[in-house]
Amino acid sequence: MSTLLYGALTTERLRAQPGTSESVAPPGLGTYVDALAALVPAEVLALHGLVLSVTTATTERDGLPEVTITEPGTLRLAFVGLIVLSVALYLVPRFKTREKLDAGRALIPPIAFVAWTMLQRATAFDAVWPTLGDAPRTVFALFAAAILGLVAARLARQADGSPPPAAG
């Protein structure tokens, strides 16, 4: 999906009359789409993949591929940069029409990005916290994803039920 899309969907829901943004008013999509867009910050995930291509090396060991982080400092900086970028990507389409709940909404894509990197191996998360074991890392990320999905859906329903801002 897309963090930019998540911000744009929120904007459209807030502009619509209460209770109409899932059917007759733009965006005309169920609130589950907002949750999906929030949980899959595609822009930063794609950039993360590109960053990994220049900060890691893959070799073969005992017939199996082994990934080694070759530039841990750069990868740590990129991790932080991608977190900040995911917040900015949400806020760009919301810039002119921000509201107080945007602070919470803007936190969902970066937390989702961190969870994605926790669920995979040999990612930027490994440069930040290399000693975290596989089980706690995976379980934490799964719980985070479930909770974030519920929060994102709730915030989308809230936006759908809000009156549009006053013209001014």
pTM to 2 decimals? 0.93
Full domain range(s) for residue 62: 3-161
57 lies in some domain: yes
44 lies in some domain: yes
168 lies in some domain: no
49 lies in some domain: yes
166 lies in some domain: no
* Confidence band of 96 (pLDDT split at 50, 70, 90): confident
Domain total in the chain:
1
Q: For 97-136, write each residue's pLDDT tens digit.
A: 888 999 999 999 999 999 999 999 999 999 999 999 999 9
Q: Which of 28, 2, 1, 3 is nearest to 160 (CA)?
A: 28
Bond prior to 27 in cis (omega within 30° of 0): yes
Contact 82, 124 (CB under 8 A): yes
74 lies in some domain: yes
